[in-house]
Structure 1
Amino acid sequence: MSVPKTCPVCDSLIKGRSDKKYCSPQCKSINQYENRQNKEAFYLKVDKQLKTNRKLLKQFNKSGKSIVRTEALKILGFNPNFFTHFWKNQQNDVYFFVYEYGFLKRKENGVSKYVLVTWQPYMNKRS
């Protein structure tokens, strides 16, 4: 004899087919709506952080190449874990990009810094 299943939404006993997942169409709809909301919230969180990162990289990199302390960016909300793509140069340094603005983490005299760059046409070429 099989163990009775309960609805993941309301914990009611599920009656009917053995592969049924919800006790009613309402519970199925509630679950789908909540999943969509969670996915939408995650997307909005990522999008907001990418926009913040891009704004800060643009603000601190007026000349096309700059160096800034990591703490200066992080205090303003920069999160290096959010980026859109990366590029590796011939020295195997990996630059992370947020759209057209990139950063490379460096340590100089024990101080953590970012080298900020702007995407260049030569970066499109594969080696």
Structure 2
Amino acid sequence: MNQETENRTCPECGRPIFGRIDKKFCSDACRNAANNKVNSDSTNYIRNVNNILRKNRRILLELNPTGKTKTQVDKLLKKGFDMEYYTNTYTTKAGQEYRYCYDQGYLLLDDGYVLLVQKIESLT
């Protein structure tokens, strides 16, 4: 072995590294710990956004058991619905914008009500 391979240490824990010449960490645990540190900020943000989207979808699904119904916006908000988060929009020819949380959508109406709809499409 040459001097370079004998003095390699794990950047996570400082223990010596044995094995392949291109190995960077002493174990899978150290590799995972280092990668988790690098990705923690973006991972936490993504996790929080996904949690909000899932909660919004659950609320829409709960209030729309038949696939199309009308309810008050206040009912959504009281259950913790966050109007700022949705996965996509659909604008009709008349200019109405439906917002969707995955397959559950809603259309804001003028009178404090919201129309809840379910998208029925195949992904194929």
Taking structure 1 as the reference length, what is the TM-score of the superposition? 0.63
Structure 2 counterpart of 1:104, one-letter code: L
> Shift of residue 67 of structure 1?
1.1
Report 1:1-127 matches (<5 A): 36-108=39-111, 112-121=112-121
The root-mean-square deviation of aligned C-alpha atoms, in Å, is 2.2
Taking structure 2 as the reference length, what is the TM-score of the superposition? 0.64
SS where residue 58 of structure 2 aligns? helix
Counterpart Cα distance in 1 of 2:114 and 2:82: 12
Aligned residues: 91
Q: Compared with structure 1, are the counterparts of its residues 90 and 35 closer, same or farther at alpha carbon in structure 2 (3 Å cutoff)?
A: same
> Shift of residue 33 of structure 1?
5.9
> Shift of residue 35 of structure 1?
5.3
> Shift of residue 90 of structure 1?
2.0
Counterpart Cα distance in 1 of 2:90 and 2:53: 17
Structure 1 counterpart of 2:97, one-letter code: V
Percent of matched pairs sharing the same residue: 21
User: Structure 2: any 5+ residue segments left out of the alignment?
Assistant: 1-10, 13-34
Counterpart Cα distance in 1 of 2:38 and 2:76: 33
SS where residue 107 of structure 1 aligns? coil
